[in-house]
Amino acid sequence: MRTVAFVSEARWSRAAGVLGAVILVQWAIALSLEGPDHQLSAASVVFGTGVLVFAGVGVLVARRQPRNPVGWLLILFTFLFLLGIDAQDYAVFCYLFGHQRLPLASAAVVLKQIATAGFLLLPAVILLFPDGRLASPRWRWVLGIYVVVSAVVTIDAFAPPIAAVAARDVHVDSSGDITDASHLRGWLVHPPAGLVAAVWVLLAGIWLSFVAYQFISWRRSDGERRQQLKWLACGAAVALGIGIGASSAVTGLLGTIFSAALFALPVSIGVGILRYRLYDIDRIISRTLAYAIITGLLIGVYAGLVLLATDVLDVHSSVAVAASTLAAAALFNPVRRRVQRAVARRFNRARYDADRTVAAFAARLKDAVDLDSVRNDLAGVVLHTLEPAHLSVWVRPPTSWSAQPTQPTQLARTWRQLSGSQ
């Protein structure tokens, strides 16, 4: 039985590798089609690389844990999404550049909508994280309802291009979508507005229930499971707050850089499932939250100064931008120190208390003259901060009278090594 299970897992592992290679080919096709479509840019390259991160994490999880559906869902999401992107670029090339006679041109218009189905797989990944099992059978009903609603949304997305291709009247925009469906007939092409709104409200409610499910799991869990859920929450916060929020607030190169934060979601999913350096998450959350707050504050200050200088004080725009940039740069370090201290005090209390203990011990060590009291103080601080199972302090006996004053310095060096390894 063990041999059969090993062979089966090896086959699934090879299948994951093959799918990863197919996804790489899809990505290369998308880049090659965006060139003739004049849509190749830094933003599209960053976005495509982010999609590959989802695929890479999916392949890694599927190879390590082939029975976990999360890895396969990430692979399927990437495959369908890139298939839709390839179809979109091909449809634009065919219909906007006068190549309608190329093979599969009409099929590309329809197949472009497959990306919608791929996108709807991501919330299921959140629900099934980290091991692919649900805590209660009742959530299987919720997942079944979500599958039905997602199918309805996908059918609604496919209806207009299918009707346009059937009528042989295809006109697309730069995104590969049908530009005018008013002359097309069919109940699916023009569903009632109330029904569409109800479906989207239900869909949003189910997404929120997935988040609530993981929040409840976090409240009820402890140990390793709680750390895994912290990784998920951290990655989602960075992806939504910086990758979507901050990148939407600014444009140009800075917006493209911020959009790279979308990679944090698949990376956090992979780390949480594979449990790599799991217990560093408290420090990562503290640093991530601190820099997210700093980024938001500095963007707000920058935008406020630009608006004040250009609209109120009537300063030249280039001068206002330069002055605002210098002001934001000057505020970075003071704001960073204060925000990091406040966030560490609230979200990384153990590390904050340890740093305070180190500082207090170093201050006492400056005035220490009695070696026994310094040794006892060091032992007490290490026991309080690191809580080791066993502790012993070894002090080299002095070879001469002049070597005695160096003992506190050696103890200080020992303490710095211990606190640095925490």
Is residue 290 included in any domain, yes or no? no
Range of the domain at 323: 295-347
Over residues 10-38, the mean pLDDT reads 82
Contact between 43 and 256 under an 8 Å Cβ cutoff? The reply is yes
pLDDT, tens digit, 9 for 90 and up, residues 288-304:
666 667 776 777 777 77
The pLDDT assigned to 149 comes to 92
Domain assignment of residue 160, yes or no = no
415 burial type by CB count under 10 A (0-12 exposed, 13-18 middle, 19+ buried): buried
186 or 169: whose pLDDT is higher?
169
Q: Residue 214 corresponds to which amino acid?
A: Q
Give me the residues paired with residue 102 across strands.
none
Please give the C-alpha separations between residue 98 and each of 31, 105, 300, 342, 366, in angstroms, as whole numbers.
Answer: 20, 11, 46, 60, 81
Query: Do residues 330 and 270 both lie within one domain?
Result: no
6 in the same domain as 121: yes
Asked if residue 184 belongs to a domain, the reply is no
Rounded Cα distance between 123 and 270, Å, is 16
Q: What is the pLDDT of residues 198-224, one digit of tens each?
A: 888 999 999 999 989 988 888 888 777
pLDDT exceeds cutoff 80 at 269: yes
| Pair 336, 393 in one domain | no
Same domain? For 108 and 51 the reply is yes
How confident is the model at residue 6, as a pLDDT?
45
Q: Nearest-CA neighbor of 68 among 130, 5, 9?
A: 130
Quick one: how far is CA 288 from the chain centroid? Answer: 11
Residue 181 scores a pLDDT above 70: no
Same domain, 225 and 126: yes
Task: Please state the domain count of the chain.
Answer: 3
Which residue shows structure tokens 């002359």?
183
Q: Which residue has the higher pLDDT, 210 or 396?
A: 210
- pTM of full prediction above 0.75: no
164 in any annotated domain: no
Statement to judge: residues 120 and 11 lie in one domain: yes
Residue 374 lies in a domain: yes
Q: Are residues 323 and 407 in the same domain?
A: no
Q: How far apart are the C-alpha atoms of 299 and 247, rounded to whole Å?
A: 11
| The pair of three-digit structure tokens given for residue 68, joined into one six-digit string | 């976990």
Q: Is the pLDDT of residue 404 over 50?
A: no
Q: Distance between alpha carbon 210 and the CA centroid of its chain, in Å?
A: 17
Q: How many other CB atoms are there within 10 angstroms of residue 267's CB atom?
A: 18
Check residues 338 and 6 and name the one with the higher pLDDT. 338
Position 246 in a domain = yes
pLDDT of residue 260: 75
Residue 335: which pLDDT band, with cuts at 50, 70 and 90?
A: confident
Residue 1 burial (C-beta neighbours within 10 Å; 0-12, 13-18, 19+): exposed
Rounded to an integer, the average pLDDT of 322-346 is: 70
Measured in whole angstroms, the distance separating CA 197 from the mean position of its chain's CA atoms is 29
For the chain, give the mean pLDDT: 75
Is the residue at 186 inside a domain? no
The yes-or-no verdict on residue 365 having pLDDT over 90 is: no
pLDDT at 372 over 70: no
249 and 389, same domain (yes or no): no
- The residue type found at 223 is G
Mean pLDDT of 145-164: 88
Do 307 and 272 share a structural domain?
no
331 and 388 fall within a common domain: no
3-class secondary structure per residue, the chain:
CHHHHHHHHHHHHHHHHHHHHHHHHHHHHHHHHHCCCCCCCHHHHHHHHHHHHHHHHHHHHHHHCCCCHHHHHHHHHHHHHHHHHHHHHHHHHHHHCCCCCCCCHHHHHHHCCHHHHHHCCHHHHHHHCCCCCCCCCHHHHHHHHHHHHHHHHHHHHHHHHHHHHHCCCCCECCCCCECCCCCCCCCCCCCCHHHHHHHHHHHHHHHHHHHHHHHHHHHHCCCHHHHHHHHHHHHHHHHHHHHHHHHHHCCHHHHHHHHHHHHHHHHHHHHHHHCCCHHHHHHHHHHHHHHHHHHHHHHHHHHHHHHHHHHHCCCCHHHHHHHHHHHHHHHHHHHHHHHHHHHHHHHCHHHHHHHHHHHHHHHHHHCCCCHHHHHHHHHHHHHHHHCCCCCCCCCCCCCCHHHHHHHHHHHHHHHHHHHHCC
For 178, list phi and psi in degrees, rounded to 5.
-65, 130
pLDDT at 2: 45
Q: Both 15 and 118 in a single domain?
A: yes
Asked whether 23 and 72 are in contact (CB, 8 A), the reply is: no
Q: Does 127 share its domain with 221? A: yes
Residue 362 domain-assigned (yes or no): no
